[in-house]
Structure 1
């Protein structure tokens, strides 16, 4: 029986999507709930899973095609599943082209196994097949990659040594922007054209937090089941307290109204291969340092793998962006609408500072607050940054609520 593979139902705010990657090709066998294809929208990447065991018999929407919600992507033959793993070599022209018949004496590889072997420079003859008649399956190839000696010298390929473009060549490479990056670009331009954006700066002495972290990081990790103590959790908790004291920085503009939020949903800007995404820490005011660190790590891994959901990226009231992880010393971050402010963290740099009339070398960080001047006055913005500075330079204030 043939089953239609269709695009998932998109959220109301998403009109269409683009076929990003087919993880299975015509002639390949799939298991129920196995990933078949990724659909990229301007906000999230949605996964299409197999409804049943079977073999891919047709791909209707190729990679790069634009599809609507529920549109046909391809077809899956469930009856062919009974004859698997031989079904992996279905008599389709495209499958035969992808996996040519082996010569006499050569091992038989499924299309997926052959692809893995080629990508990892494995000798097909060295892979032990566990399939029917000694056929090498995808699982066999994956196991061979896992057991590949790490210390074995690997001759560098010419492509790895050569630059992207040969010297002297006037060559250009044109690739389409991803939908996510296109949408991010539109929102950044929209923010700059629709807001009275301004940035104010301050600096913070990171030594107290660094000393606290160095003293307790091992005990913290042991107590909280492997969660590591970083700097971001201190900034999130300090931002929550500063937002409580300056509610205008936590507000948003909706038409002619100002919406003040009685909660702190902190967005954390994360750079991924597909573009900039901002997952949100819901009700950060109720989270402990360990919960903040653990949630940020979880969301960061999802962003890397393109598995963030739309719900995890919407509804933030304030954003923190850490350009310091890339070495940025100073920047002016752009506000993420409909929010009215964003905090920029930067690189920790040792600098000579005057302390009680003496020059002392201290680890300093510049903080930047970009804000919408239509709602937030300069006094409010500066007071917010000073509050952040005071809380970070004396973390005991966070515990004592002073």
Structure 2
């Protein structure tokens, strides 16, 4: 009897030890997301943007290719030192009060004042303006850097600064008495930027262009309100323009590589540590963790395709439930999931639905010329927009810190 009990005890111990080391297989859903990554992709537009700050006379795409090659070498060789592009040779980045954020107090008022020397900006930054236009003429864009929280981002600020100068040029035309020219210029710029936004395959790029689009709508609205002019209807975002399909795949791949990279790592618990791999595997299972977060990424893709009303209904009814996994077999995996998931990607998706609400305000105010009491909020239907500091604002399911659901009508 004693031998039998001892045998059973040994079997239980061995089985329990084995179970602490066993990870799940990757789910079909996780594998499907990973298969959407194109490792052989190339993009001239990406190289051009990567090197857009190259000094006058140099080819931005060639500079971008050279800098990207340096980055790739540094990824494969930790000892490689990246020199980068000399700061003294870079095109100057337009800065100053004229490049304020529109939601900041006094920003829009300043842009419409005669204090901005637009002619000087156009002259000093003519090379950048030309390059921004050249970039926007590309009909493709692929981020070539390996998805990672530390991946180098292209210098989007050069594009946004150049596009702000174009907005200032339109305002200058309005201040000189040519409102129609200003409006036509802004609407052409809006059309061009919304195409560029749709091509972006990472969240930072998508949001960067979205903010510029929001600014253009506000500036146009102020001019229309001042002049009492009507506007053509601006179509809301199409599913492809709101899509997060490519961006969310990059986010997933970054998480996948992160979790796989720390599996059984000797420094898992602290820098300089030397913990055996079997010990870390007791507390962390990479595939279990990856499988758990897969649903969060598919959910983001789906939310982006919803109408604003359906999005609001789901957010307010179901909210965001952070993914989880076995606390017994994958305790640290659960901790990492909670740290990384936060509130998910809902806030990024919401910004596109919020700008759809801004477009609805624009069309109802300047195309249909409706009174506030007759307006409809894409999120909730009939709603009188709230007036706030020269803006009409619709309500929505999430906080709107950037005033994307608001339309400026006067300053």
TM-score by length of 2: 0.21
Select the structure that is richer in strand.
Answer: 1
Select the structure that is richer in helix.
Answer: 2
TM-score by length of 1: 0.21
